[in-house]
Structure formats: structure tokens, C-alpha cells
Structure 1
Amino acid sequence: MKGNMRTAMVQGVNLTPQLLQSIRLLQLTAPQLEQELRQALERNPLLEQDEAAEEAEADEAPEAAMLEAAAWDELPEPAFLSGGSIGGGDDDATLRIADGESSDPRLRLLRLLSLHWDARDLDIAAWWLDRCDDRGYLEQPLDELLAAARAAFPTRADDVGVLRQRLLHGDWPGMAAADPGECLRAQLHALPEDATRGLALRLLAEHLDLLAAHDHAAMAAATGAGADAVRAALGMILGLRPHPVQAPVADDHGHVVPDVVAWRGGGAWRVALNRRGAPQLRIAAHCERALAGSDHAALRGLLDEARWLVRGVAMRNDTLLRTAQVLVERQRDFLDQGPEAILPLTLREVADAIGVHESTVSRIVSGKYIQTPRGTFELKRLFAVRLEGAQIAGTAVKAMVRRLIDAEPAAAPLADDVIAGLLARQGVRIARRTVAKYRDQLAIGPARARQRLAPRQARQEYV
């Protein structure tokens, strides 16, 4: 067996312990940072708490700190570090801000389906999901949608109905159901088959009126089942979800601790870090002097660890403050006037403004909150996606939709196409479907559900 040697150039990233610690500190929220620092105080005897509020945080070896900051800016995206692929060069990097799980049920379900569905089937599934409201029900009659789906996918006309059935009986039973009855039946079919499930299906299919009236005796007489069996079937039905969409798992943080505070003073917006709670650490001066010429490996290791921590915290706070300053400066109209004044803003724009990589901005804003006169909210709320073909943010358009609906006449609510027309007069051109999507995201019903009688008309009908 003959051996040979060859040379090759491979691009990689050397993740030193210091760099990994800096990245981890960058992503910590205010409560997490406080816990981290208090644990470090207990673990490392060379650290001490700086009691002087006016004293700046330790600033050691600025050149090394700048090199370390440059090193983490050269890191690839988090997906690459975890073995995934790097996304394309999209202009809107806001979507890469970490956020546990999307609030859009369509995106969550498509991500789940992508694990075991074929790509061609996913296209049709996405088409059906786009025709569902935020509860998971079809927005138009089923026969009309089937005809439209066959026209949209002529080569797979026979498959569109089958794929809707796969959605209906898939990971979220009842998704893309035509009505609540179909949704509940799909959920029942997902349960183990037994006599109780069979009776529940009969009640839903044949005796929905008795079920709505909660007439146990009539249901028992109509089905020939005993009272206990009827009660068990009713319990199974009542245990089903009223709609198929499954809410994302909510993180229970208890209360929000803002990482940054913004206020208006002297005619300008000002920003400061919220240092309440988290201790300010420094290396004990007498310990550092004592170890100046020491070669004790354990103590030198503790000293290096303390230096890395102090430097990493300083870099994290500096990056967070500069990011918040840019966000507040760019979105001052939003803070002054409200959601309709929010401007399109991406990670790339903020990263260019403070001289770091987009991934650094994504990490530093993830899970961080800012306290403002308008309330306390996540920093990433100050980012906004540009509405396609316009110089306005989609978030601002959503706020305009809410304003128009809030001001509509009680007896004559505005239809989605009317709202789209009113926005077009203001220079914002969006489709009726987009208005309906924004209205669903705002938890506002359609025009027919919002219609209320005027006071005089209500009194006349009462008389």
C-alpha cells in the first residue's frame, strides 16, 4: 500500500475558550448576566464587587479586546456552527434574529412538515395554508378552493384534495378544515379507536343539535347508548381543541427586566444600560499584584479566567449600548409618534452603523428588552421588514389597518378591500389578502363579525 501526501487550504474558525465565552456573554439577558456574575463571584476568589457606582467597569488590554471583538465578528452564522447551511445573501437579515418559535402558525407547521414531506407536496401544502385563517379553518368554500387549487397546480390536479386530507389528518389534526365539525372529527380520528370514540363520531355526525343543547337524555335515546357512555363521549369531545392551530410553547419569564433604558431629555433621545441588579465586577488589585511574578498554575488560571470575564462583560455591554443607540436614533419617530411611524430597518443596516457583523447584532438583541415611555418591549421590535415595492414597514401598515378599523362606524364596518382602497389613497398599495392577514394577526374579526347596531336602531328593534 503506497502512501502519499498532499496539501490543501481549508477555511475554518478557531473557537478559543475566550471567544466562546465572549459569544455566550453576548447572548445573555439581564437576569442571566446577573446570575452569571454572582456565580463567578462565589467561584473565583480573585474577583470582587465594585461598590462605587460612578467607577467605570474594568478596561484592561484594549488592543486585545478589539482583536477579540474582530474575531467574533468573523464567525459564520449560528446555523453553520451547528452544522446547518448558511443562508443566502438576503437583504433582510432581520428574520435571523433568534426567536424561539414563529408566531405565524403557517410557518411553524411548514417547518414541521418539511421534516417528512416531499418538497413538491410542501408547495401544495403551503397553498392550502395560505387559504386558512389564523385558527386553521379555510377562508372560502371548499369546492371553490378545490377548483382554484386544480387551476394553480394543473399537473397535480388529482393530488390537491389528497394533500388537504393529509393536512387535515396530519401533525395538527383538523388543519385546513372546512368547518368546526370536520376539525373535531379529524381530531377524533387521531385518537385510539374504541367504543367511546365511535360514539363521539356519531354524535358529531348525526346529532350536532343535541350536542349543542347538552341534552344528555335525548342523546342517549337517539344513539341507544347508556348515560355513562354518553358522558364519556361528551368528555372526549370537550377535550378536543376548538380549532386546529397549536399555539407555540410560551416561555414563562415571570417578569421582564429591561436591559436598556431610553428616555427623552434635552430635546433628544438618550440611552443607558440598566445596571440595577447585576453586580459590577473587578479583579482584586492586591491579588493581581501578589500574582505578578508568581508561577502558580492554579492561581494564574483563576486570574486569566477573571480577566476574560471582566473583558467579555465590558465588550458585551459596549456592543449592547451602541446597538441600542442606533436603534433608538433610527426609530425616534416611532418612539415619538407611535407604530405607524416605524421605519424599515434590517440587521445589516445596524451592523454597518456600529461596525460589526450582522450575526453580532442578531445575538446582542436576542431576548433583550428596552424600557421606553411607550412601554417595555423587545429590542427586535425596533427592526421592521420593508413592505415590498414601498418605502414603508409592514409593521407600520399593520398599525394603519388597526387605526382605520378603530375609527370605522359601528353599524358599517370596513371590508378588507375598502381598507386596501383607503390605504392606497395614502400611497400604501397592498392587496386585500394582505389586509386580511394583518387583521388576523391583530386578532380582529372580519367586517360581518364587527358589525354592531347603532344605538337608535337597537332601541327601535327592541321596541
Structure 2
Amino acid sequence: MKPSLQLKLTQHLALTPQLALSIKLLQLSTLDLEHELEKYLRENPLLERDEMYAQTDVAPGGGSGDEATSPPTVDERTEQSFSDEENWPVDEAAHFSSSGSFDDEDSDYQDVQAATVSLREHLLWQLGLMTLPDRDRVLVRCLVDALDDDGYLTQSLDELVDTMPAELGIELEELQIALNHLQHFDPTGVGARSAQECLLLQLEALPVDRTRTLAADIVRHCLDQLASHDFVKLKKHTGCDDDALRAAHLLICSLNPRPGAQFASSDTRYVTPDVVVRKLRGQWSVSVNSDAFPRLRINSLYAQILSRQRGSGLAVHLQEARWLIRNVQQRFDTILRVAQAIVERQRQFLDHGEVAMRPLVLREIADLLGLHESTISRVTTQKYMATPRGIFELKYFFGSHVGTEAGGAYSATAIRALIKQLIGAEEPKKPLSDSQISEVLGQQGIVVARRTIAKYREALSIPPVNLRKSI
């Protein structure tokens, strides 16, 4: 084959460092953005936060590269062991008593206790107040250490006896006595070995009456039938009428099957909305949340040095700082534009709720704003909007749709809201099946298969018809 020279013209997108930074910042959540900015602030001496920034709101896009980034306009600011057994009771009691003050009228003891005291500490504090022989005290403490987070004893007493040193000569009867002590501690039901035992412990702590006796009988012998709402078999077994069974059912439902859960440490995560939606003069207005907007600027001292000394090694840092400030501003400008477009199309949702949510896809917003669909996907992921109806991820406003008999479309979110409404208004003795819900929606012109109804119902954590039936 004879070699030859050919000229070929092609087009391709060059991903410049600034464009790569812009894409990276756009897809970050507010929390991840803060972490990323902290990294830049540590590495770039010319970049700093504007700590003295005056608390006024400035429209987006108004600053130059060397000026501090400023938050967009916000019309109204949002409000916005055996060896150490001898000394432990004093330590545990002291720790517990220091967790809250009984003299502070503004303090809520229950909240402080749940937040600062673990289940183990709470139980050991109670143990410290009891007058028990040392041997029994040690055994109770061993049982406390064997509890899970819900307050259950997951190991059998035989297994626990086998794990203890043989030279102590601990017998099963001793451990049973220790368990009896533990099961009288607060919270009631702690130390149970099953859900059935947990409920019975709580029932036994209540005053004796007809309802409590009936409830205990149901828990002992008919707990499976109660769980499946088989009220016919329950009445046949107990011989009670509807009113008595209803009262016993309500009493059992009021019990706590996880008594230790209230002492578990909770990992609370807070969401800072990127944009805020308010209704002003009858119109829905969108603004960037100033609390989510990072205030950055160029260090003025280093900037003056660079203006006098051209070719300084800090010039690269200056350019990086300018890029970062511009890209942060552009990020929020893009989020604001997308949020405004979403609000314009979902005004009925803001006015009337989920049942008025209209079908919406990413491409519709992309075509409107002249952006790529992937950009809209980045903008709407882990970005949140605060509305009078709550805080929602921007992706919440997009979703699949279902056709109607008239040839239109209905949002899946709206259909889920309708299902929730129908189930909420159903007759408790005759709840609606998935097929019946499908028929009701069909009468409204919304064609939804029974399987789809079941899928939406499960997504709403609503049990099937047999478990919703009541007396």
C-alpha cells in the first residue's frame, strides 16, 4: 500500500482546567462544596473567606473576579468485668447525675437523658441504687453488658453460664435471679429475650383490669394472629366481643417493642437548602439561600504585592483563586436558573400539594435553559429547595408519568399522593385492595395497573389490605 498524506478536520471539546473545575463544583452538594473550599483555602494563600462581610443580600453575578463572592438576593432572610467491681457504682452514679440539671426550668430531662446517657449507663445507675449482694450485682452487670441496642438479651442463660469462668461456680438459677432483677429496671421491658416477653413485661407493670388480662392472653397465645390482623380467630380464641378486642388491641399497640432504642445515639443530619421559595404578591419567587453561599475573596495584601512584582510565584495562585470565585458564582447562578424553571412548571404543586404535581423530565428543563441534560442532572442531584411545603431535593420534582384516558399524562408523585388519600379515607373494617384502588383511579381517567398500585403503595410504606384491616 502506497503511503500518502491526508488532511482531516475534526471537532472536539477541550476540557480546560477552568471547565473541569466548574463541572466538579456543580455536581457537589452544599456540604461537599464546603469541604472542597476548605481544601482550597488551606492550599492557596491568596484565597480567604470574607469574615467581615456585611449582612446584606446582593444579586448573583454582580462581582468581579477579584471581589468577594456575595449571596444572591433573598427577599426575607430565613430564621434562618469482675476485677473493677468494687468502685463502679459511685462512678456510674456520678456520671449519670452530671448529665443534666434538675434545677433548670428550661431543661427537658427526658431529652437530656436520651441524648447523653446510654442504655448501659442508665441501667448501671439504677443498679448502683439497689442493695444487692456483691455476687448478684456482678451477675446483673454481666447481663447488662450482654444486652443489644434495643434492650434485648439475645443470648440464652445457658450460653451465658458457659461463657463465665468455671472457678466462680455460677449456676443457672443465680443468673435467672439476676435477670429478674434486671427486668424490673427502667425502661420496662428491658432484659426480655423475645418480643413476646418484652410486651408481657410491660403489661405486667400495668394495673390489673379486664383489658390488660385480655391483652396478656393475646400476647401469650395469639401474637401471630394479631400481627396478621386475623380478628376472627382472635375472637374465637378469647371469646370476647369487638369492643373488648379493640381495647386490647389498642393497649398492645401502645407498648414499646424496642425499649432500649430511646437511648441509642442518633446520627442527625441537617440539610441546608440551596434555594428558597416564597410567595410574594401572589407570585412564587426563588432566591439563593445566603447561608449556603460561601463568601470568598482575594487576599488584598498579596494582591498588592503581585501588582508591584510581576512574575511572582504567587501569580498561579491568583489565577486559581479567580477561577474558583467565578465558578462558585456560576454554580449558584445555574442552580438558581434551574430552580426558577422548576418552580414555574410546578406552581400547582406549591399551591395545592402533591396531587397537583405535573409530569416533568430533565430534557424539558435542559431545552428551556439551553443546557445539556447531564448538566441539569448534576444541578438537581443533592441540591435542595426550601418551600412552604417543606424541603425537597430538586430531583423530587422530576419523575415518570402515567397516561390518562384523555391522552394526557399524570405524575407518579401525584398518583402516590392520590393512593395515600384514598387509603387514608378508607373504611377501616373494609380497606381498599390494590385492584379496587386501580378501579377508583380508572374512574377518574387515570389508567394504572394493579401491579403499579402495589409498587407505589410499598414505596409509601403502606401495608397490604389484610394488615390494614381493623376491628
Normalising by the residue count of structure 1, what TM-score does the alignment of the two structures yield? Answer: 0.53
Q: Which residue of 2 aligns with 1:386?
A: 401
SS in 1 for 2:401: coil
Equivalent in 46, 53, 60 of residue 64 of structure 2: 60
Amino acid at match of 1:321: L
Per-residue deviation at 1:15? Answer: 0.9
Structure 1 contact 34–278 (Cα < 8 Å) conserved: no
Find out whether 1:308 has 2:323 as its counterpart.
yes
What is the number of residues matched between the two proteins?
268
Per-residue deviation at 1:295? Answer: 3.3
Measured against aligned partners, the alpha-carbon deviations of 1:37-69 in whole angstroms (never above 9, x if no partner) come to 33333332222333133374663379xxxxxxx
Equivalent residue runs for 1:284-433 within 5 Å: 284-285=299-300, 287-292=302-307, 294-296=309-311, 298-388=313-403, 390-433=408-451
Equivalent residue runs for 1:119-130 within 5 Å: none
Check 1:253–1:259 CA distance in 2 against 1; reply closer, same or farther (3 A cut): farther
SS in 2 for 1:282: strand
Q: Which residue of 1 aligns with 2:36?
A: 36
Structure 1 contact 37–278 (Cα < 8 Å) conserved: no
Normalising by the residue count of structure 2, what TM-score does the alignment of the two structures yield? Answer: 0.52
Structure-1 separation of matches of 2:444 and 2:295: 51
Measured against aligned partners, the alpha-carbon deviations of 1:207-246 in whole angstroms (never above 9, x if no partner) come to xxxxx999xxxxxxxxxxxxxxxxxxxxxxxxxxxxxxxx
Per-residue deviation at 1:256? Answer: 1.7
Per-residue deviation at 1:2? Answer: 7.6
Check 1:39–1:427 CA distance in 2 against 1; reply closer, same or farther (3 A cut): same
Per-residue deviation at 1:370? Answer: 1.4
Structure 1 contact 29–259 (Cα < 8 Å) conserved: no
Amino acid at match of 2:425: A
Equivalent in 439, 446, 461 of residue 443 of structure 1: 461
Q: Which segment is superposed worse, 350-359 or 308-317?
A: 350-359
Structure-2 separation of matches of 1:353 and 1:277: 26
Structure-1 separation of matches of 2:30 and 2:365: 21
Structure-1 separation of matches of 2:466 and 2:333: 52
Check 1:18–1:32 CA distance in 2 against 1; reply closer, same or farther (3 A cut): same
Structure 2 contact 423–432 (Cα < 8 Å) conserved: yes
Structure-2 separation of matches of 1:2 and 1:295: 54
Decide which structure has the larger Cα Rg and report it.
2
Amino acid at match of 1:59: G
Structure-1 separation of matches of 2:294 and 2:409: 44
Q: Which residue of 2 aligns with 1:267?
A: 282
Structure 2 contact 306–312 (Cα < 8 Å) conserved: no
Structure 1 contact 49–280 (Cα < 8 Å) conserved: yes
Structure-2 separation of matches of 1:436 and 1:381: 21
Q: Which residue of 2 aligns with 1:235?
A: none
Structure-2 separation of matches of 1:334 and 1:321: 19
SS in 2 for 1:387: strand
Structure-1 separation of matches of 2:383 and 2:292: 15
Structure-1 separation of matches of 2:65 and 2:38: 24
Per-residue deviation at 1:32? Answer: 1.9
Measured against aligned partners, the alpha-carbon deviations of 1:169-207 in whole angstroms (never above 9, x if no partner) come to xxxxxxxxxxxxxxxxxxxxxxxxxxxxxxxxxxxxxxx
Measured against aligned partners, the alpha-carbon deviations of 1:116-153 in whole angstroms (never above 9, x if no partner) come to xxxxxxxxxxxxxxxxxxxxxxxxxxxxxxxxxxxxxx
Check 1:3–1:293 CA distance in 2 against 1; reply closer, same or farther (3 A cut): farther
Structure 2 contact 272–292 (Cα < 8 Å) conserved: no
Structure-2 separation of matches of 1:253 and 1:276: 19
Structure 1 contact 262–370 (Cα < 8 Å) conserved: yes
Per-residue deviation at 1:22? Answer: 0.5
Structure-2 separation of matches of 1:351 and 1:287: 41
Per-residue deviation at 1:347? Answer: 0.9
Unmatched runs of 5 consecutive residues or more in structure 1: 63-211, 215-251, 454-463
Amino acid at match of 2:333: D
Structure-2 separation of matches of 1:359 and 1:403: 35
Q: Which residue of 1 aligns with 2:131?
A: none
Amino acid at match of 1:54: T
Structure 1 contact 331–342 (Cα < 8 Å) conserved: yes
SS in 2 for 1:392: strand
Unmatched runs of 5 consecutive residues or more in structure 2: 67-194, 198-266
Check 1:431–1:277 CA distance in 2 against 1; reply closer, same or farther (3 A cut): closer
Q: Which residue of 2 aligns with 1:222?
A: none
Structure 1 contact 415–446 (Cα < 8 Å) conserved: yes
Structure 1 residue runs of 4 or more that deviate by more than 6 Å after TM superposition:
none
Structure-1 separation of matches of 2:268 and 2:33: 15
Structure-2 separation of matches of 1:420 and 1:437: 12
Q: Which residue of 2 aligns with 1:26?
A: 26
Structure-2 separation of matches of 1:424 and 1:342: 18
Measured against aligned partners, the alpha-carbon deviations of 1:419-447 in whole angstroms (never above 9, x if no partner) come to 11111121211222221221222222222
Structure-2 separation of matches of 1:353 and 1:427: 30
Structure 2 contact 274–292 (Cα < 8 Å) conserved: no
Per-residue deviation at 1:265? Answer: 2.5
